[in-house]
Amino acid sequence: MRAARQRLALEPSPAARMLATLVLAITVVISLAPFFYVVSTSLKETKSLFSYPPRWIPDPVYLGNYLALFEKHPFGWWLGNTLAISAIVTGLKLVIDGMAAYALAKLDFSGKHAIVTALLISVAVPLAALLIPLFLITRSMGLIDTRLALILPPLANPLGVFMIRAFIAALPDELIHSARMDGAGEFEILRRVVVPLIRPGLVVHATFIFATQYTTFLWPLVAVHDLKKQVITVGISSLRAIFTVDWGLISAASLVAAAPLTIIFILFQQAFFQQSLAGALKE
């Protein structure tokens, strides 16, 4: 933030400032207009969508699309499954990544270099490419069509280990040495000393995992076929598979699906942008 303020010592000219304001105004309008149009669509009956010229403001306001989601389709299940699976993956991932990150940042052991290399390489493995073997492995474990199939494979993603390792590596070694001198075990040090100090970073990481999980599509599409066990992205896309597409229904579904992540993002946006703007590249 201080760096940002210093930069502004170099004042942009009034013309540049006007241009920037114009660019931002256009960007905001373009970014948000589709959402507003979908809100209006979701409050109309589907057949009235096809009238030309279109009516922008729905009159009368029609709530049938929202009701149908819960009455005629397992939308409640999809929402619940997605929230539960995302929360479980986030919780497990924080523990798994935190433990591994602590070992890699502050413990000495043989084979460290090999493990770091293997995990680092796998950060780059494109998940779409693993679709076929993941499906075959999950099937041989008898997990196809279970929610467990949606929870376990994402736990292998090693990206978080490196993010948390960077937070832990920044803590002074003396802190951990003195805790050891006081007779604390490594688990206790991680839980009582390290975690409280890296909490802001963990919160950002948690929102990141949650968002990734909430928006995932390809793997659930492949791993689960029972609609009641499905997540929200695949569930909504299944609404399209019906012969004549009920666009009003789809607009309502998209908006309800977008709401939870939006709320979570607004709650944590300050920490999120602080982390992002502090330089994602600095490692």
Partner 1 sequence: MEAATSPSHMTEEEHRRQRFWAAARHNLTAYIFLAPILIFFVVFMALPVVWLFYLSFQHDGILAPAQFAGLDNWRRTFSDGLVVKCIGNTLYYCVLAIPTVFVLGMIVALSLQGVRRGAALLRILIYFPTLQASLIVALIWTFMIHPDFGLLALSIRALTGVKVNFLGDPHFAMPTIAMIEVWKGLGFWSILFLSGLLALPSDLYHAAELDGAGSIRRFFSLTLPLMKPTFYFGVIFATIVNLQLFDSVFVLTDGGPVNSTATIAWYIYRSLFTFSDPGFGATLSFLLVIVVLALTALQTWLMRERTP
Instruction: Of 43, 47, 65, 46, give the one whose Cα is nearest residue 56.
Output: 43
**Amino acid letter, residue 211:** A
Instruction: Please identify, using beta-carbon distances, which residue of 74 and 275 lies nearer to partner 1.
Output: 275
Q: Find out whether 64 and 192 touch, Cβ atoms under 8 Å.
A: no
Instruction: Please identify, using beta-carbon distances, which residue of 2 and 196 lies nearer to partner 1.
Output: 2
Tell which positions 60-89 bind partner 1, by CB under 8 A: none
Q: Which stretch binds partner 1 (CB under 8 A): 61-69, 120-128, 167-175, 193-201?
A: 120-128
Instruction: Indicate which single residue of 165, 205, 233, 268 sits in contact with partner 1 (rule: CB under 8 A).
Output: 233
**Residue 234 burial class via C-beta count within 10 angstroms: exposed 0-12, middle 13-18, buried 19 and up:** buried
Taking residues 140 to 179 in sequence order and writing x for each that binds partner 1 by CB under 8 A, - otherwise, the string is ------------xx-xx-x--x------------------
Instruction: Please identify, using beta-carbon distances, which residue of 61 and 128 lies nearer to partner 1.
Output: 128
Tell which positions 195-214 bind partner 1, by CB under 8 A: 211, 214
Residue labelled with tokens 């499954």: 81
Smallest gap, in angstroms, from Cβ of residue 263 to partner 1? 11
Instruction: Please identify, using beta-carbon distances, which residue of 120 and 170 lies nearer to partner 1.
Output: 120
Query: Which residues have C-beta within 8 Å of that of residue 278, sequence separation ≥ 6?
Result: none
* By the rule CB under 8 A, 117 interacts with partner 1: no
Smallest gap, in angstroms, from Cβ of residue 92 to partner 1? 8
